[in-house]
Structure 1
Amino acid sequence: MFSITNPFNQTFLSEYQYITDEQAISDVEICQKAYMGWKSKTVDDRLKFIKNLIFELENQKEILTKQCTLEMGKPLKQSVAEIEKCGKLCEYYIKNAEDFLSGKNITTDGSESYTTHEPLGVILGVMPWNFPYWQVFRFAIPAIIAGNTVCVKHASNVAGCGKLLEKLFKDAGFPQGVYKNLLISGKQVENVINSPIIKGVSLTGSEKAGASVASAAANLIKKSVLELGGSNAFVICKDANIDDAVETAVNARMQNTGQSCIAAKRFIVHESLYDSFVDKYKAKVADLVSGDPMDENTYIGPLARIDLAEDLEEQVNKSVEMGAKVVIGGKRKDAFYEPTIITGVTKDMPVFKEEVFGPVAPVISFKTFEEAVEISNDTEFGLGVTVFTEDIKEIKEKLHLFDEGAVFINALVKSDPALPFGGVKKSGYGRELAENGIKEFVNVKTVYIK
C-alpha cells in the first residue's frame, strides 16, 4: 500500500495497492489476447480508434489536467499544454502512419523484392512522472498504430494519471488489452520483462532504471529503447541576439519547474555577453510567478516530491561550498525550490557534472567556440544542445562537433512529433517520434521472389 500527497500543500490525495506479480502477468496475457486481433487490423482501421482518442482527450481535458497538477505539481496551464500536445501527436500519425509503415520495393536480381513492417507483440512501457501523459503517448501511440499492444508501468506518484490513461483508451473504444495500465512497483518490472509474452520494452527515466531494465531485456534478447537523463548545454555565441537568447532561456530552463530531461541545464555564454546575459536573465527569472499550480497565473510550481527538492538543495549547497555564487533564488521550502541562477561554476561542481532536475541555471563563460564545444561535451549525457548565433551557415558546418542527439539553433530543445527524439552516451539509445519512432517495435520483413 502506498499513498500520494499533493506536493503543493502536502495534503493526502489517494492510496493505492500494487497488484501482485500474478495479477501483472494476467494483465499481460490480456494484452497478448488483444494483440492477436489488433495486429490483423489495417493501419487505417487502427487510426479510426486514434481519431476517437483525440475526441476523448478534448472531452476529458479538465479532469486529466487537474489530476496531473494535483499529483506532480505541474502548473495548470502547462498541464493543459501537455494534453494538447498529445492530441497533436495523434494528428501527426493519422496523417503519416500509413506512409511510414508501407513497404518498399527494392531492385535486386530477383523478379520482385520488397519489405513489410509487422508488429512485434506486447510491448512494456516504463514511464516517468514529469510528463505523465506526453511521455506515455509518444511511446504508446506509434507502437499501437504499428499493430502492437502495450502495457504501461507508470510512476507511482502519478498513479491517478495512469488510471485515467487506461480509462481514456477504453472510452475511445479500443479493444480491451490494447492499452493496459500495470499498477506495479519498480521491483516488479523485471518479472514482467521475463514473461515470454513481452517482446520489447521502452523506458523513459533515470540512468539507474534504464541500466536495470536494459540489462533484464538484453539477457532475454528483447528489444529496448531508452530515453534517459540529460544535461543540455545552452550556448550563446558572441554574435547572438542576446534578448532572444534570454527570452528563450527562461522557458528552456524553467518550464515544468525545471523537471525535464531536455531542459537547458548549463548556460555557456561568450565572455563579451556574460554580464549582460546574467543581468537580463536575472530580471526575467525574478518576474516568474511561483505558487499554487492550480492558479492559472502560476509559472513555477513545487517539485513533484519533497525528496526531489532536498536533492536539488544539496546540489546547490555543495556547489556554493565549492565557490559558486547564487545570483537569485537558492532557497527551499518543503517541495518548493526558488528559481535560481548560479555563477562562478566550475566543472567539478554538482550543478555542472550532475543532472540538475529543477529550476536551477548555472552560467559559465567561454572565450572561443572550441572552448564552448568542449564544455558542452564535457558530460556523460548527450540528449541535445541549443546554440544561439546569427551565423547559421558556420554553425551548420560545425554540428558534427557536438556529441548530442539533437542540435537546436536559436531555439530551445524540444520534442516534436515530426522529429526523431533520443540521445547518445548515457542519455540512452533508440528513437521516439517521427518515422523512426513508429518503426522501433516492428519487424522489417524482407521478401525476395526469384
Structure 2
Amino acid sequence: MIFTSINPYSGEHFADYSAHAEWQVENLLSTANRAFSDWFMRPFPYRADCFRKLAGLLHTKLDELALLMTSEMGKTLAESRGEIEKCAGQCLHYADHAEAMLQPDPVATEANYSGVSYEPVGVVLAIMPWNFPFWQVFRYAVPALMAGNVTLLKPAPNVPGCAMAIEQAFREAGFPDGIMTCLLVDVPELKAVIADDRIGMITLTGSERAGTSVAAIAGANVKKCVLELGGSDPLIVLADADLDAAARAAVTSRMGNAGQVCIAAKRWLVEAPVADEFTRRVAQLIRAIKQGNPLDPTVQMGPIARLDLADTLRQQLATARQQGATVLVGGQSEGTAFAPTLLTHVQPNNVVFREETFGPLAALTTVRNADEAIRYANESRYGLSAALWTTDLDRATYLARQLRVGSVFVNAVVRSDSRLPIGGVKKSGFGRELGYVGIREFCTTKTTYIA
C-alpha cells in the first residue's frame, strides 16, 4: 500500500509514503517496547522538559507545519496555524500539571501505608483521523507520554505527511528513539498489531464502524480502549437566548474546518418564538462565508478533505431534500468544494437528523418548547456533546442534566480544552481524553498496601 498526499483543493498529488513491511512493523514494535522500559523510569521533570522543547519547536516551525497541513487536508492557513499553536499549548499544560495529576492517593487503613497510584500501560497504539491531523495526535500523545507511556501512531491514509512531520518534531525536540513513531500500515494489518502482547492499549478517534471493529479485536485480546467515535451534536436555542451570540456560535461551530468536526453543532433545535429571527441571522452569517483556496488569507473555508467524503455529503443532502428538508442557503457543490449549507424544516426522521453529517451542512428544526428540544436532542444514537443557549442559568443547569452526552456547554461553543475531559456516550464511544481524567485513562490503577 502507498500512503498518498493529495491537495484536496487543487488535486495535486505531491507525496507518497510506502507502507511498512511486516519486518519493519516488528522492528517498530520492538523498538517501542525497549523505549518504554527506559522512558517510564524517567522523572516527570525530564519528560516535562522534553515537551517544553517541543512546544518551542512547534512555534519555530509554525508556518512550515501549517502549510503542510493545509496542503494535505485542506483547512485554511489560519485554522492550521491555530491548530499548531493549540498543540504547543497542550505540551506546556501537561508539562506543568501532569506530575500533580498523577500523584498517588493515600487511603487511610490500618496499614502503615496504603494508597492508589497511576502507572503507565506501556505502548499505546493510536489510530487517528484526518480532520485535525496535528491536534488529534497531540491531544492523546502528550498526556499519554507524560504518564510514562510510549506510542505508535497509525495516521489516516490521506495525512501521512503530517504524521511523519510530528514524528520528526519529536525527534528534533530531543525525545529518545521509539517514544513517538509512525506506523504506516493498512487496516487489515492492524489486527495483528492490536493483538500483539507488546501493545498495552489502543486509542481511536474515528467512525463508529472503525471503533466497533477495533473494540472487538481489543476485547478478544483483553486490551483497554479509549474510543471517540461519531457525533451529531445538538445546539438548543431557547426563546430567552441572546440570539446574536447564539447565531454566531452556531455558525462558528458548524462551519469551522469546513464542517469536518466531531463536536460541531450539527442539529440546531430552536424554540418556536425565536425560530424565524434566529434563522434570518444564521442565514446572513452563512451567506457571508468566503470559500475558496485555503492558501488565500481572505478565504474562510476550504474544501472537503477527500472526494469520497464530499460525495457522501452530497448523497445525504439529496436524501434530506427528498424527505422534506428545504435548502435555505447553499446546497451547491462540485468536486471537493461544498458550499456552506443551511437546511430548514428538518424533522427527526430526516437523514441529516439521524446520521452524522461531516461537512458544512447545518440542519435546523423548530421545537415547541424546551422539553421537546431535550427529547429531540436525545433522539440520536450518538452522545458526544451538546450546546444550550439560554439566559436562565438555573434552568440551564437543570436541562443540562437531562442531556445524554459527554459534554454540555452553556452559552458557549463546544470545544476541546486541555483542562477538561472530552468523550462521548452511546455510539459516540467511551473513555475520556484531556484533563486529569484523560491522563489517567492512559494509566493502570495500582493499589499498594504496606503492613
TM-score (norm 1): 0.99
Residue 81 of structure 1 is matched in structure 2 by: 82
Task: Judge conservation of contact 1:210–1:228 (CA < 8 Å) in 2.
Answer: yes
Does 1:267 find its partner at 2:268? Answer: yes
Residue 172 of structure 2 is matched in structure 1 by: 171
Q: Distance in 2 between matches of 1:270 and 1:336?
A: 32
CA apart distance, 1:433:
0.4
Q: Distance in 2 between matches of 1:2 and 1:151?
A: 17
Residue 335 of structure 2 is matched in structure 1 by: 334
List aligned pairs for 1:83-162, cutoff 5 A: 83-162=84-163
Q: Distance in 1 between matches of 2:414 and 2:178?
A: 35
Residue 9 of structure 1 is matched in structure 2 by: 10
Amino acid at match of 1:447: T
Task: Judge conservation of contact 1:253–1:264 (CA < 8 Å) in 2.
Answer: yes
Residue 200 of structure 2 is matched in structure 1 by: 199
Residue 30 of structure 2 is matched in structure 1 by: 29
CA apart distance, 1:4:
2.6
Q: Distance in 1 between matches of 2:235 and 2:400?
A: 14
Task: Judge conservation of contact 2:3–2:160 (CA < 8 Å) in 1.
Answer: no
Q: Distance in 2 between matches of 1:111 and 1:170?
A: 44
Give SS of 2:158's match: helix
Q: Distance in 2 between matches of 1:162 and 1:90?
A: 17
Task: Judge conservation of contact 1:73–1:301 (CA < 8 Å) in 2.
Answer: yes
Give SS of 2:441's match: coil
Moved more, 108-117 or 357-366: 108-117
CA apart distance, 1:400:
1.8
1:252-299 residue CA offsets vs partner (Å, 9 max, x unmatched): 100000000000000000111111111111111111110000111111
CA apart distance, 1:2:
4.5
Amino acid at match of 2:402: L
Does 1:400 find its partner at 2:365? Answer: no
Q: Distance in 2 between matches of 1:397 and 1:348?
A: 27
CA apart distance, 1:111:
2.1
Task: Judge conservation of contact 1:389–1:410 (CA < 8 Å) in 2.
Answer: yes
Q: Distance in 2 between matches of 1:323 and 1:22?
A: 55
Task: Judge conservation of contact 1:72–1:304 (CA < 8 Å) in 2.
Answer: yes
Does 1:20 find its partner at 2:18? Answer: no
List aligned pairs for 1:348-359, cutoff 5 A: 348-359=349-360
Residue 419 of structure 1 is matched in structure 2 by: 420
Does 1:449 find its partner at 2:450? Answer: yes
Give SS of 2:169's match: helix
List aligned pairs for 1:278-293, cutoff 5 A: 278-293=279-294
Residue 72 of structure 1 is matched in structure 2 by: 73
Give SS of 1:115's match: strand
Q: Distance in 1 between matches of 2:209 and 2:409?
A: 27
CA apart distance, 1:115:
2.0
Q: Distance in 1 between matches of 2:339 and 2:46?
A: 49
Q: Distance in 1 between matches of 2:16 and 2:39?
A: 34
Task: Judge conservation of contact 2:129–2:136 (CA < 8 Å) in 1.
Answer: yes
Using the aligned pairs only, state the percent identity: 39
Residue 239 of structure 1 is matched in structure 2 by: 240
Q: Distance in 1 between matches of 2:285 and 2:234?
A: 19
Question: Cα RMSD between the aligned structures?
Answer: 0.9
Amino acid at match of 1:193: I
Task: Judge conservation of contact 1:202–1:225 (CA < 8 Å) in 2.
Answer: yes
Give SS of 1:13's match: strand
1:175-230 residue CA offsets vs partner (Å, 9 max, x unmatched): 00000011111222111111110010000000011011111111110111001110
Residue 217 of structure 2 is matched in structure 1 by: 216
Amino acid at match of 2:299: T
Residue 45 of structure 1 is matched in structure 2 by: 46
Residue 437 of structure 1 is matched in structure 2 by: 438
Give SS of 1:156's match: coil
Amino acid at match of 1:196: D
Task: Judge conservation of contact 1:25–1:192 (CA < 8 Å) in 2.
Answer: no
1:11-36 residue CA offsets vs partner (Å, 9 max, x unmatched): 21112221123311210111111111
Q: Distance in 2 between matches of 1:298 and 1:188?
A: 39
Change (3 A) 1:140 1:199: same
Amino acid at match of 1:247: R
Q: Distance in 2 between matches of 1:398 and 1:261?
A: 22
1:407-429 residue CA offsets vs partner (Å, 9 max, x unmatched): 10001111000000101001000
Residue 311 of structure 1 is matched in structure 2 by: 312
1:326-349 residue CA offsets vs partner (Å, 9 max, x unmatched): 001001111010000001111222
Task: Judge conservation of contact 1:351–1:362 (CA < 8 Å) in 2.
Answer: yes
CA apart distance, 1:399:
2.0
Q: Distance in 2 between matches of 1:25 and 1:237?
A: 56
Task: Judge conservation of contact 2:374–2:399 (CA < 8 Å) in 1.
Answer: no
Divergent runs of 4+, >2 A: 1-4
Amino acid at match of 2:277: S
1:370-398 residue CA offsets vs partner (Å, 9 max, x unmatched): 10000100100000010000000111123
Task: Judge conservation of contact 1:68–1:132 (CA < 8 Å) in 2.
Answer: yes
Q: Distance in 1 between matches of 2:22 and 2:335?
A: 35
Task: Judge conservation of contact 1:343–1:362 (CA < 8 Å) in 2.
Answer: yes
Q: Distance in 2 between matches of 1:219 and 1:4?
A: 34
Amino acid at match of 1:124: L
Residue 228 of structure 2 is matched in structure 1 by: 227
CA apart distance, 1:154:
0.4
1:90-132 residue CA offsets vs partner (Å, 9 max, x unmatched): 1111221111111111111222212222111111000000000
CA apart distance, 1:55:
1.0
Task: Judge conservation of contact 1:25–1:195 (CA < 8 Å) in 2.
Answer: no
Segments of 5+ residues of structure 2 without an aligned counterpart are: none
